[in-house]
Amino acid sequence: MIGEKPTLIYAPGSCSLAPHIVLEELGKPFALHSVSTDKGDTKTSAFAKTNPKGRVPVLIDGDAVYTEAPAILLYLAQQSGNEWLMPKGPEERVRMLEWFNWLSGTVHSVAIRMIWRAEYFSAAADNLELIRTKGHQHLHDAFALIEERQGGGWLLPSGYTILDPYLLVFFRWGNRLGYDMRTAYPKWADHAQKMIQRPAVKSAFATEKIDLWQ
């Protein structure tokens, strides 16, 4: 698995899509290794040797193994010559961390997980539907805040950064959950439309064989 090129371990359509897009943006050689979270590929003892957390994304670069989508995104953007993907100035750096922490720690790890991985929160089978319903409530609140906070342009005022591909993951998940993303979140939909015009995004979607709207 470890080679000359940085290698991203990913699952199609998962949060690993964001670092995949950024790797495409960089235009330098990289390798991909696909796993299926549904089939339990991330829960094997072999996978645990690479990432004991049992999750994707994982980025392997030389001897270093990086986990956590925001950390991997930052690692990629910090490579020399990629400053254009970074926030500009101290205020934007704080805003970037604010977005990443909330999107990863609350929206993904709580709301989304309550819907798609309800069994993580309760061993009782009859609780699972209640957990999913509550997860949808949390997600609706979070999506409303995303719509309010952004103006349809890039998320940070100075331009396109590593935050934008990450936000796109959540927009696509909204579609997959059956939310009417275009109508309910028109500014966010503009952001997603802008994103899918980018060759890097088109390429990552084609490789992962996924679609924005389903």
Ligand X SMILES: N[C@@H](CCC(=O)N[C@@H](CS)C(=O)NCC(=O)O)C(=O)O
Positions touching ligand X (CB under 6 A) are 11, 14-15, 37, 42, 54-57, 68-69, 104, 109, 117
Q: 45: which strand partners?
A: none
Shortest Å distance, C-beta 28 to ligand X: 22
DSSP 4: S
58: closest CA among 14, 116, 120, 94? 14
Closer residue to ligand X (CB): 117 or 134? 117
For ligand X, give the closer residue by CB, 39 or 93.
39
Nearest 5 degrees, angle CA 87-CA 19-CA 21? 90
* Cβ at position 151, least distance to ligand X in Å: 25
Nearer to ligand X among residue 117 and residue 198 (C-beta): 117
Quote the least distance from Cβ 38 to ligand X, whole Å. 9
Instruction: Indicate the residue among 84 and 120 with the shorter CB distance to ligand X.
Output: 120
Q: Which is nearer to ligand X, 173 or 187 (by Cβ)? A: 173
Is the link from the previous residue into 6 a cis peptide, with omega within 30 of 0?
Answer: no
Q: What is the distance between the alpha carbons of residues 127 and 15, in angstroms, rounded to a whole number?
A: 26
Written as six digits, the tokens of 84 are 């254009």
In angstroms, give the least distance from the CB of 176 to ligand X.
Answer: 12
Closest contact distance (angstroms) between CB of 83 and ligand X is 23
At which residue do the structure tokens 């591909």 appear? 165
Task: Give me the least distance between CB of 41 and ligand X, in Å please.
Answer: 9
For residues 85 and 77, the answer to whether their CB atoms sit within 8 Å is yes
The DSSP symbol for 109 reads I
C-beta of 69 vs 85, nearer to ligand X: 69
